[in-house]
Amino acid sequence: MKKEEFIQFVAKNIKYHLPSEFKDFKIEVGKHMGLVISEKKSPNTIRIYLDEAYEKFMENKNIFPVMETVANNITQGWHTVEKIRDEKRQAIEFVNNYAEVKKHLQFVLRDPDFTEIPMNQIKTELGSYVALYEINMDKNDAEHISIPITDKLTKRWGITADQLYQDTIKVQAAWNQPLLADLLEMGTYLNGGTRPDNLLSADKIDDTGLYVLTNYKLYNGAAMIAHDEMAQKIGNLLQMDYYILPSTVHELLVYPDNGVISITQLQEMVKSVNATDVLPKDRLSDKVLFYNQQERRLELATEREEYFEDKTEDTQEKKELAEGKDKSESEKKEDKSLKFSIRL
Looking at the predicted structure, is the pLDDT value of residue 205 above 70? yes
- Pinpoint the alpha helices (H) of the chain: 3-13, 51-60, 63-95, 98-101, 151-157, 161-169, 183-190, 230-238, 263-276, 301-343
What is the per-residue pLDDT for 83?
86
- Over residues 322-342, the mean pLDDT reads 42
CA–CA distance, 44 with 102 (Å, rounded to integer): 32
Confidence of residue 337 (pLDDT cuts 50, 70, 90): very low
Average of per-residue pLDDT across 88-97: 86
At residue 41, φ and ψ (nearest 5 deg) are -80, -5
Question: Residue 342 — pLDDT band, cuts 50, 70, 90?
Answer: very low
Asked whether the predicted pLDDT for residue 344 surpasses 60, the reply is no
* pLDDT at residue 135 greater than cutoff 90: yes
Position 323 pLDDT exceeds 80: no
Given a cut of 90, whether residue 291 has pLDDT beyond it is yes
The whole-number average pLDDT for the span 223-235 is: 94
Task: Check whether 329 has a pLDDT greater than 70.
Answer: no
Q: Which residues 6+ apart lie within 8 Å of 190 measured at CB?
A: none
Rounded to whole angstroms, the Cα distance separating 178 from 277 reads 24
Where do the domains of the chain lie?
3-95, 99-169, 174-303
Q: What ranges in 47-125 are assigned the alpha helix state H?
A: 51-60, 63-95, 98-101
Give the tens place of pLDDT for each residue, 18-53. 999 999 999 999 877 789 999 888 888 999 999 999
In the chain, what percentage of residues exceed pLDDT 90?
A: 70
Residue 78 above 50 pLDDT? yes
Between 188 and 314, residue with greater pLDDT: 188
pLDDT at position 13 over 90:
yes
Check: pTM over 0.95? Answer yes or no.
no
